[in-house]
Amino acid sequence: MATAKTKPTLITPLDGGTFISLQKSSNEGDLSMETKLHLLYDLQQTDSKIDQIHLLRGELPLEVQDLEDDILGLSTRIENLTNETRDLEKQIAQKKIDLDNSKSLIEKYTTQQNNVKNNREYDSLSKEIEFQGLEVQLAEKRIKEFTFTLAEKKSALEAALKLLEDRKKDLETKKRELDSIVSETAKEEEELMRKSDELQSQIDARMLAAYKKVRSNARNGLAVVTVRRDACAGCFNKIPPQRQMDIASSKKIIVCEYCGRILVSADFENE
CATH number assigned to the domain comprising residue 191: 1.10.287.1490
Q: Which of 9-23, 70-84, 107-121, 215-229 has the lowest mean pLDDT?
A: 9-23
Is 186 domain-assigned?
yes
Query: What average pLDDT score do residues 25-36 get?
Result: 69
Q: Say yes or no: 87 and 173 in one domain.
A: yes
Structural contact between residues 235 and 258, judged by C-beta atoms closer than 8 angstroms: yes
Give tens-digit pLDDT for 101-123.
Answer: 999 999 999 989 888 888 898 88
Structural contact between residues 97 and 60, judged by C-beta atoms closer than 8 angstroms: no
Is 40 domain-assigned?
no
User: Coil, helix or strand for 155?
Assistant: helix
The pTM is what? 0.53
Is 264 domain-assigned?
yes
How much is the pLDDT for 29?
54
Is 113 domain-assigned?
yes
Q: Say yes or no: 162 and 239 in one domain.
A: no
User: Coil, helix or strand for 269?
Assistant: helix
- Would you say residue 159 has pLDDT above 60? yes
Q: Say yes or no: 85 and 213 in one domain.
A: no
Structural contact between residues 167 and 70, judged by C-beta atoms closer than 8 angstroms: yes
Q: Which of 200, 219, 252 is the last residue of a domain?
A: 200
Is 9 domain-assigned?
no
Pairing between β-strand 254-255 and β-strand 231-232 as defined by DSSP bridges: unpaired
Is 41 domain-assigned?
no
Could you tell me the end-to-end alpha-carbon distance of the chain, in angstroms, rounded to an integer? 47
CA distance 19 to 260: 10
How much is the pLDDT for 97?
94
Q: Which of 142, 167, 200 is the last residue of a domain?
A: 200
Q: Say yes or no: 195 and 67 in one domain.
A: yes
Count of structural domains within the chain = 2
Give tens-digit pLDDT for 62-88.
Answer: 889 999 999 999 999 999 999 999 999
- Would you say residue 45 has pLDDT above 80? yes
φ, ψ at 263 (rounded to 5°): -105, 135
Most confident of 25-39, 68-82, 118-132, 245-259: 68-82
Q: Which of 200, 224, 241 is the last residue of a domain?
A: 200
Query: What average pLDDT score do residues 216-243 get?
Result: 88
CA distance 112 to 23: 109
Q: Say yes or no: 111 and 234 in one domain.
A: no
Is 140 domain-assigned?
yes
Is 13 domain-assigned?
no
How much is the pLDDT for 8?
44
Q: Say yes or no: 191 and 212 in one domain.
A: no
Q: Say yes or no: 219 and 104 in one domain.
A: no
Residue 100's pLDDT band, with cuts at 50, 70 and 90, is: very high
Question: Is 260 or 57 the better-scoring residue by pLDDT?
Answer: 260
Cβ-proximal residues to 147 (8 Å cutoff; 6+ apart), any chain: 92
Domain ranges, residue 99 = 60-200
Mean pLDDT of all residues in the chain?
A: 85
Q: Say yes or no: 169 and 117 in one domain.
A: yes
Structural contact between residues 129 and 109, judged by C-beta atoms closer than 8 angstroms: yes
